[in-house]
Chains A and B, each alone.
Chain A
Amino acid sequence: QVQLVESGGGLVKPGGSLRLSCAASGFTFSDYYMSWVRQAPGEGLEWLSYISSSSSTINYADSVKGRFTISRDNAKNSLYLQMNSLRVEDTAVYYCARDPNPPTGTRYFDYWGQGTLVTVSS
């Protein structure tokens, strides 16, 4: 069965950096687009970034563009999110999600990990 397991969250000071990882199993990772989505405490969902199966196409939400970098290692079945210049408002649970890459070309998410909490505070 599809499994996505995030790690790397924790407490970081404003201006600091953190790298999140997502370990995928139960499917052919290299066939799928992947995304990161976050949820601030008590708030709704916010899409952050996606990466194509070959890493040739990458897109970011305006809120993280220039600060966050998505990447993947298909040999390791892993997705990453490098987060720099972190702000208090980046505090959230960060989810990795699989994108089924449908023929429509519309990005969406069919499986999600359980998330990892990132807290940005001094």
Chain B
Amino acid sequence: SYELTQPPSVSVSPGQTARITCSGDALPKKYAYWYQQKSGQAPVLVIYEDTKRPSGIPERFSGSSSGTMATLTISGAQVEDESDYYCYSIDSSGNHKVFGGGTKLTVL
């Protein structure tokens, strides 16, 4: 089965840039999506189709993808950005829709 691999945790100080990676064999051909999930809440889409930001998402959130790795970048991370972040994509056949294991971002 297809897997997306994320680091379990990332920690930055307020104002620093946080980068969360997601690796998967199909990412050169398939888009990556990123979700933010705060404790006890539903996930929120923050990046879609590798680089696009939904309306209402702060500009400090950006996405990129190169080869088998997609990256979520939070420029000037704020305390309120502390959350779990999940990448999502599909395998090369399109049949398996998969989330990464999640990355806990700590901002302190």
One of B31, B95, B97, B101 near A104 (C-beta < 8 A): B31
Against B, the Cβ 8 Å flags (1 = close, 0 = not) of A49-74 are 01000000001011000000000000
Question: Least Cβ distance of A67 to chain B in Å?
Answer: 18
> Shortest Cβ distance from A45 into chain B, in angstroms?
4
- A32 located at the interface, meaning its Cβ lies under 8 Å from any Cβ of chain B in the complex: no
Chain A interface residues (CB < 8 Å from chain B) = 44-47, 50, 59, 61-62, 95, 102, 104-115
The size class of the interface chain B forms with chain A is: 20 to 34
A62's nearest neighbour on chain B, judged by CB, is: B1
Say yes or no for B107: interface residue by CB 8 A criterion: no
Q: Residue B30 at the A interface, CB < 8 A?
A: yes
Q: How many A-B residue pairs have CB under 8 A?
A: 55
Which residues in A have their C-beta under 8 angstroms from that of B88?
45, 47, 108-109
Q: Specify the chain A residue showing the minimal Cβ separation from B100.
A: A44
Residues of B within 8 A of A106 (CB): 30-31, 49, 90, 94
Structural contact, A110 and B48, CB atoms closer than 8 A: yes
- Report B-chain residues with C-beta under 8 Å of the C-beta of A114: 41-42
- Residues of the A chain whose Cβ atoms lie less than 8 Å from the Cβ of B45: 108-111
User: Smallest CB–CB gap between A22 and chain B, Å?
Assistant: 12
Query: Is the beta-carbon distance between B54 and A44 smaller than 8 angstroms?
Result: no
In the bound complex, how far is the Cα of B95 from the Cα of A47, in angstroms? 11
Which chain A positions have C-beta within 8 A of B90?
106-107
